[in-house]
Amino acid sequence: MSEQPFERIERTIREDFSDKLWAPFTRAVERYALISPGDRIAVCISGGKDSMLMAKLMQEYSRENPGLFECVYLVMDPGYNEINRQKIESNASLLHVPVTIFESDIFEIANAQEKNPCYLCARMRRGCLYGKAKELGCNKIALGHHFDDVIETVVLSMFYAAQIQGMPPKLSAKHFPDMELIRPMYMVREEDIIAWKNHNRLSFIQCACRFTENCTMCDNGGGGSKRQEVKQLIKRLCREDPNVAQNIFDSLHNVRLDTMPGWKEKGVAHSYLELLSK
């Protein structure tokens, strides 16, 4: 029997891209204790390259660890146009990912706001995903943030928010008791996700709101956003020193708190004077 397209795509994850995708994925899952026995995880799929690959990685990991945990592959339609909705469904079918789709009116609400529609959209989407995941009996949701998202967030927070803030691999939900968010793609680099996508000749949607619908089928969108600026800055620095990106990531694991004049913990401000008095 000839190999099916989804079988070939799955094989590339474990063979052609073993070092670039499978190894960092499993390393993150184990290093940060993202999956525990008995977990029921809502794998949240937006339709983009990152979340679709995450779904396949989670699928493969569950096969390698039968009975350890369960996955629900959850797609929220916040108001996609017909083309994008069909693209998500066709990709899920091609990749043999059994998605559960539910609908909301988030795009309509967020796009009606004059200030910070993207921020509102992200907050509302997260809340809807938590709510649906809990309804389906899940205790965790998995999001497709990757290595580049992590280091870009660090630089963005320093440059534009006057704080040093990371993107943790796992955190508890504030408004949904007993629910956690995990980021199993934490150590997977975006360039390797793109390479896997191109290797398999796959195409995915990107952000599909009214502000970006004209470029939803391209993978280099984002316009002139601050995140895109930071992404390009890091790339330029890496051309001069290839270790820059990894150094930013590693710095999150090597915070020298005793050298900081101030910090916040659980929203409470602290001063270095507290350390001096001990």
- Whether residue 247 lies inside any domain: the answer is no
H or E stretch including 51? helix 49-64
- What confidence score (pLDDT) does residue 80 get? 87
- What confidence score (pLDDT) does residue 181 get? 97
**Mean pLDDT throughout 43-65?**
97
- What confidence score (pLDDT) does residue 217 get? 36
Please give the Cα distance from 45 to 73 (Å, whole number).
Answer: 7
| pLDDT per position as a tens digit, 194-240 | 999 999 999 999 765 555 444 333 333 344 588 899 999 999 999 99
- What confidence score (pLDDT) does residue 221 get? 39
- Whether residue 53 lies inside any domain: the answer is yes
- Whether residue 269 lies inside any domain: the answer is no
Which candidate, 162, 184, 140, places its Cα nearest to that of 29?
Answer: 184
Q: Number of folded domains in the chain?
A: 1
**Mean pLDDT throughout 79-108?**
92
- Whether residue 130 lies inside any domain: the answer is yes
- What confidence score (pLDDT) does residue 207 get? 61
Which candidate, 114, 139, 125, places its Cα nearest to that of 42?
Answer: 139
Backbone angles phi and psi of 129, in degrees to 5: -65, -45
pLDDT, mean over the chain? 90
Q: Among 22-26, 71-75, 211-215, 269-273, whose mean pLDDT is lowest? A: 211-215
| % of the chain surpassing 70 pLDDT | 92
**Mean pLDDT throughout 145-149?**
97
How many helices, marked H, and strands, marked E, lie in the chain?
11, 8
- What confidence score (pLDDT) does residue 200 get? 97
Q: Tokens representing 221? A: 């969108």
Q: Tokens representing 154? A: 């660090």
Other CB atoms within 10 A of residue 12 CB: 16
SS3 labels along 149-196: HHHHHHHHHHHHHCCCCCCCCEEECCCCCCCEEECCCCCCCHHHHHHH
Please give the Cα distance from 21 to 118 (Å, whole number).
Answer: 29
CA atoms within 13 A on the CB side of 59: 23
User: Does 273 or 218 have the greater pLDDT score?
Assistant: 273
Please give the Cα distance from 25 to 28 (Å, whole number).
Answer: 5
Query: Is a pLDDT exceeding 50 seen at residue 278?
Result: yes
**Mean pLDDT throughout 2-24?**
95
- Whether residue 98 lies inside any domain: the answer is yes
58, 43 contact by CB (below 8 A): yes
Domain region containing 118: 5-221
Tell me, what CATH number does 46's domain have? 3.40.50.620
- Whether residue 15 lies inside any domain: the answer is yes
| pLDDT per position as a tens digit, 248-264 | 999 999 999 889 999 99
Please give the Cα distance from 54 to 100 (Å, whole number).
Answer: 16
Tell me the whole-structure pTM to 2 decimals.
0.90
- Whether residue 121 lies inside any domain: the answer is yes
- Whether residue 202 lies inside any domain: the answer is yes
Please give the Cα distance from 225 to 202 (Å, whole number).
Answer: 26
CA atoms within 13 A on the CB side of 61: 28
